[in-house]
Structure formats: C-alpha cells, structure tokens
Amino acid sequence: MRAVNHNQHAVEKILARAAGRASVFAGQIVECQVDLAEVNDLYLQTIRSFHDMGGKRVRHPDRITFILDHYAPAATIQQAENQKQMRQFCREQDIHQLFDVGAGVCHQVMVDEGLVYPGMVLVATDSHTTTHGAFGAFGTGVGATDLAVIMRTGQLWFRVPEVVRIELNGTIQRGVFAKDIILYIIGNLGADYAIYKVVEFCGEVLKDLSISERMALCNMTTEMGAKASYIQPDKRTFDFLRHKVNVDYHVFESDPDYRYSTDLSYDVSQIEPQLSAPHSVDNVAPIHRFEGLSVDQAYLGSCTGGRTEDVGIAARILDGRKIHSRTRFIVVPASKDVYLESMAQGYIDILVRAGATIVTPGCAACLGTHAGILTAGEVCISSTNRNFPGRMGHTGAQIYLGSPAAVAASALEGKITNPVRYLNGD
C-alpha cells in the first residue's frame, strides 16, 4: 500500500478530499464527488444518456445547474425544442438552478451567482471550465455522457494531473492585457503543451491582476490542452467572493516540496499586444505583423473577453467616436450582470452611439452557433478563444484573436490596429 503523499499540490488536495482519500498522486485514477455540475444548451444528449443509463431521479439536484447560453434566445425551431426539453427536465427533477436565455455565458453566470469558490470540484459540459482555476477551484470540462454519469451517480472518475508552474514577473506594459500574455505563452509553448495537466499561474504580476484578467488567463489554458488551471486564492479573491458566496469553503495550499512537472517563467515587461492568426490558437505573433489588414467584423464577447472590464476598455477607446463604415462591431456582454453594470457605467450608450451592435448575453457567434456568423472571405478580430476553420461560420473566414482593446481599436479604424495608441492618455 502506497504511503500517504505529503508533498501534494493544492489541486491534489482538492481531488483527495473529493475522493474521500488522505492523499492522491499524479497518474492515479480517482472517483470524485462533484460539487457542481453544469450543463449548457448544446447538450440535450446529457438528458438522453441519463435516461439510457437507467436514471430516474438525479442524485443531487442541488449540485446541478443548467445554463441556456448558446442559443440565447433560440433562433431555430430545433434550438427551441432542445431548450424546452431541458426546462422540462429541470422541472421534473427539481433542479432549481436553471439559468434561462439572457442570463449569459455559463462560466460568467456561475461566477456572478456565487456558485464558484476555492477548493471545489466543478465539472461542466464545456472545455473552458478551466476558467474557474482563477478562484482556486478544480474546474474541468467533459462531454454530455460524462455529465450524465454525474447526474446519475454524483461522481466522476479523473486521472490525477501533473502541474505545470508558470511564473509571471515584471510589469505589464500599457495597452497590454492578460489576453496578450496568455496568447504569447500559448504561441511559445504550443497547443498541446499542457495535455492532461494543470497549469498554475503565480508570480508578482498576479498580485495586481484583476479577477477578470485572471479569468482570461485561466480560461485560455484549455487552448494549451490543459485539464484545469490554478491560481492560489489571495486577498483579491476573498474580497471578490465575500459578498457573493454563501458556502463555507476551504482554501488548500500546495506543500512547499511539491514537484511540478515543469517550471517556467516569463518576464511580461517584454510582451507587446499579440494576435493569434488563422487557423490555430498557437499561431501567435505581435500585432504589428498584421496591422493594416482590413476587418469586416470586430467581435467582443465570450467567457474569455466579454466582462465589464472588457466592455469598458472598448468604451474608453470608442468614446465620442464612430467605428469604421466597413466594419461591424458585435458586442456580447458575457452575462446579465455584465450587461447591467456596463449600462450603469455608460459603456453601452457609448458603444451603441459608436455603431456597435449589442447581442443578448450568451455565446453568440463564438463557436458559430448563433448571432454574428461569418461567411467566406471575411476577416474578423475577436476577443474570443478559438480561430479554427469554421469556428465562427464559414471555413473560408479568417479569425484573429486578440484583447478586447485590440478588437475595439480595430473596429474604430476598420483594420487590425495596435490599441496602445488609444490608451496612452491618462
């Protein structure tokens, strides 16, 4: 029998607690109780699989949430039918945590609603569940049938991951954001660098990074293949969660002698605004390589780059100005709360007057399922997370991923634009 592991990472401690074990080690297969399981409206199959596996009553209805974010609201009969069946299921199963169309993108909604907290195991039918590592949670994505297993049994098997440590030092330059930093890192390491692993961020840069920016970092780790991400909760985390979360959570800390699978560090002072060019997320280069390229659509939204801070930076750049006549600017607040806050701050007013189109909080065109689709030959700059062929519509469209600031500056000029020149003031 293996001895208790005294050199555990915080993530290992989270999984150990959830698995009812004293300790776990990398590579081990464990069955974990899941604190929160989320289903979004792409996955009616979850309900079908649940029934196919003999499910009658969901084991823990209070640990399930359904968030209707991809078809917000339904734009086809099929979408409407799928959502109808989900609502019905929630009613039948006493699943009260149903966030219907307009609530927003699942990951943002869960944070807004105080459902995310340190030390929890959060599983969702979405790959960007890694976002919640920003709060010291173990957040990971699965498919429909795995989620059905959780509904049926309350738990799911996981292979305990190794952890990659990424230390961020230096000072972020003006006009540079978390999105630029993570794009730089993904471009540097490659799309499969962190397969099956957790990516942990630490270092002096984090201290001053807002929660919104931390979420952007953690969200994008999926694009390096990460299973989950992790940022050790600190005062900023606790201040953020104080009035949101009602749960008595436990904050785990990594043992000082824990051995990371790799230790990397980056001096962010050297990083300038980046873009990820078609057609893979790791195809990253400084924005100046692409400046001047005409843009048909600028898109600001998603769990990656659609928060109030993101809408706010766009408003700052576009205040009193109008976007270029050849460019459509689609703005999708990531949630109802983001929408309300953006309205209260006057951002929506500024953006609409500048020529932006505001879309219902949700996933919209981020993955080509809803409002803001591209056709062949169109060029789009987006604050979202993927640029694979066909990601936002036609396989012949070209998607460049960048920071919300770069998206707004490009909408203004009608071509790919380094936002720094619009952020030099104050």
Partner 1 sequence: MKKTVKGRAFVFGHNLDTDQIYPGRYLELTDAEDVGQHAMEGVDPEFVHKFEAGDIIVGGRNFGCGSSREQAAYTLKVRQVGAILAESFARIFYRNAINLGLTVLLCPDISQHVADGDVLTVDCATGRVINERTAQNLQAEALSEYVIKIIESGGITSLIKKEYEGG
Which residues contribute to the site for partner 1 (CB under 8 A)? 29, 42-45, 48-49, 52-54, 70-71, 76, 78-79, 82, 125-127, 141-146, 148-149, 152-153, 157, 191-192, 195-196, 225, 227, 280, 367-369, 373, 386, 388-391, 393, 395
Q: Which helix (H) or strand (E) holds 13?
A: helix 10-19
Tell me, what amino acid is at 180?
D
Closer CB to partner 1, residue 143 or residue 203? 143
Closest contact distance (angstroms) between CB of 179 and partner 1 is 18
Classify 186 as helix, strand or coil.
helix
CA distance 301 to 124: 20
In sequence order, the 6+-apart residues with CB closer than 8 A to the CB of 250 are: 17, 118, 119
CB of 183 to partner 1, least distance (A): 16
Q: Toward partner 1, which CB reaches closer, 324 or 370?
A: 370
| Residue 303: C-alpha distances to residues 109, 175, 403 (Å) | 10, 21, 13
Q: Which is nearer to partner 1, 149 or 348 (CB)?
A: 149
Sequence-distant contacts of 44-51: CB under 8 A, at least 24 apart? 44/82, 44/85, 44/86, 45/144, 45/145, 45/148, 46/125, 46/144, 46/145, 46/147, 46/148, 46/151, 47/85, 47/86, 47/89, 47/148, 48/148, 49/144, 49/145, 49/148, 50/148, 50/151, 50/152
Q: Are 352 and 333 in contact (CB under 8 A)?
A: no
Q: Which is nearer to partner 1, 48 or 316 (CB)?
A: 48
CB closer to partner 1, 63 vs 227? 227
Closest approach, Cβ 196 to partner 1, in A, equals: 6
Cβ of residue 88: shortest distance to partner 1, in angstroms? 15
Burial class (CB in 10 A: 0-12, 13-18, 19+), 48: middle
Pick 81 or 349: Cβ nearer partner 1: 81
Least distance CB 280 / partner 1 (angstroms): 6
> Closest separation between CB of residue 270 and partner 1, Å?
27
Q: Residue 104 and residue 99: Cα distance in Å, rounded?
A: 8
State in angstroms the smallest separation of the CB of 239 from partner 1.
Answer: 32
How far, in Å, CA of 78 to CA of 89, rounded? 17
Q: How far apart are CA 31 and CA 20, in angstroms?
A: 9
The neighbour count for residue 75, using CB atoms within 10 Å, is: 12
Report how far residue 300's alpha carbon sits from residue 212's, in angstroms, rounded to the nearest whole number: 15
Specify the residue, 17 or 370, whose C-beta has the smaller distance to partner 1: 370
Task: In angstroms, give the least distance from the CB of 256 to partner 1.
Answer: 29
Identify which of residues 147 and 354 has a Cβ nearer to partner 1 in the complex. 147
Tell me how far, at minimum, the Cβ of 10 lies from partner 1, in Å.
Answer: 20
Q: Select 109 or 411, whichever has its Cβ closest to partner 1.
A: 109
Local structure of 202: helix, strand or coil? strand
